[in-house]
Amino acid sequence: MMLLASCFPHPSEYQVVLGQHQRLHDDGTEQYFNVTRIHVHPSYNGNTNLDGFANDVAVLELSGDVDLSHPQVSPIQLATLNTDFTGLSCEISGWGKLLGKYSLADENGPIGVEGDTGGPMVCDGKLAGIYSWVVSPCRTTFPSVFTRVSEYTEWINSQ
């Protein structure tokens, strides 16, 4: 099974939870997996001073098969090369901080300001972006930066 995420180094430090809609409460729909391997894009170097986290994408291998029979867990189609989402309304979500230094959100909802790295941007039913970074948390005067999935679909599918 493969998932997308913003880059991180050690598989043993992470666990993937699918089907969870409240961060602090289980409702029985959750599926838990260890990460067995992380495929970081070969051109990612993590140096924001030079390239602003260019190629900030990774593919995660999970320790088991995902049960897709639950309606809370379903695959999403990846945006393909040259897909244009200009003018469309897109959805972004995560459990990051809602305001400044306040605590993390409990329910999965509109993206917060910190802690949402790796979160999805879905446009027209396709995964169009992966939340990468922001210049200044909690300020609306700067844009949030997303990795454009359509530029990496071929690489993702080859992993």
This prediction has a pTM of 0.79
Three-state DSSP class for 12?
A: helix
For the chain, list the domains and their CATH numbers: 2-158 (2.40.10.10)
Question: What is the rounded CA–CA span in Å between residue 79 and residue 89?
Answer: 15
State the pLDDT confidence band at 43, using cuts at 50, 70 and 90: confident
Q: Which residues pair with 31 in a beta bridge?
A: 18
Q: Please give the residue that has the higher pLDDT: either 73 or 47.
A: 73
In this prediction, residue 2 carries a pLDDT of 41
**pLDDT, tens digit, for every residue of 103-123?**
565 555 544 656 677 788 999
DSSP 8-state assignment for residue 3: E
Cα of 37 vs its chain's centroid, Å: 17
In this prediction, residue 138 carries a pLDDT of 57
State the pLDDT confidence band at 1, using cuts at 50, 70 and 90: very low
